[in-house]
Chains A and B, each alone.
Chain A
Amino acid sequence: MVPVSYYLVLSAVLFTLGVAAFLFKRNIITIFMSIELMLNAVNLSFVAFANMHKDVSGHVFVFFVMVVAAAEAAVGLAIIIAIYRTRETLNVDRVNLLKL
């Protein structure tokens, strides 16, 4: 058997990659995918812990996270279409009407 820590390290690496991509990528779709990567990294942690504790509530959590991620994807892509219709670009640097 592969020890739990392997899964946790993999999950942490994936989550960190997601965070890095979120911060450094400029295309909205890529940024959006990096959020999905973060959520799936968390799912991996949940499953690993559920297996470690021999408890199903971790699996249940994963189900709900997946459904929520799908709902988020639908809303997110709709927003991206709205952005494209008004701005004709998907580069976050050019989506800058509202200055920080």
Chain B
Amino acid sequence: MTDNQLLPYLPVLLQLLVAAGIGAGMVALSAIIGHRKYSRVKMQAYECGMTPTGDAQHRFSVKFYLVAMLFILFDVEAIFLIPWAVVYKDLLRKFGWFGFWEMIIYIGIVLVGLIYIWKKGVIDWNVDDAKESASGSD
């Protein structure tokens, strides 16, 4: 194992070093040569120029989390479509419509999942929380 094997990756290493150097350099320079004047307005959390309202660490509704989770699931399920689409012509030649219908069944099952969460009211955000928790505790 000589260094030659890693030679093609040298630019990547150089870029990493340069990027890290610029980042570290900027922070260090501003710490060394910058002036500091603290005032109440300056110490506020920055929220796009708006006056901050409330604590930044308040709790989010569990609905955000549910949507994020469902997004991951449906997103990752699309993974199988890509290799299928790539070899679709071969599939059609070799097995006829078998490959097509298999994928339709797969998408159908994913669709069933969507209908299920829909009917469960997961993506319906207009239901107020009190009602939601009353029916959810059953």
Contacts and interface: CB of A to CB of B under 8 A. Distances in A.
Interface of A: 1-3, 60, 63, 66-67, 70-71, 73-74, 77-78, 81
B73 A77 contact: no
A63 B79 CA distance: 7
Interface in B68-82: 69-70, 72-73, 75-77, 79-80
A71 B73 contact: yes
Nearest to A75: B69
Contact of A77 (B65, B76, B77): B65
A28 to B, nearest CB: 15
Contacts of B70: 74
Contacts of A2: 5-6, 9
B34 interface: no
A81 B62 contact: yes
A74 B69 contact: yes
Contacts of A1: 5
Contacts of A71: 73
A70 B72 CA distance: 7
Contact of A66 (B6, B62, B76, B83): B76
Interface in B58-96: 62, 65, 69-70, 72-73, 75-77, 79-80, 83
5 contacts: A1-B5, A2-B5, A60-B83, A74-B69, A74-B72
A67 B65 contact: no
Nearest to B5: A2
B73 A3 contact: no
Contacts of A77: 65, 69
B27 interface: no
B1 interface: yes
Contacts of B83: 60, 63
A16 B49 CA distance: 46
Contact of B79 (A3, A66, A73, A78): A66
Contact of A3 (B5, B65, B80): B5
**CB-CB nearest 7 A-B residue pairs:** A70-B76, A74-B69, A67-B76, A74-B73, A70-B72, A63-B79, A70-B73
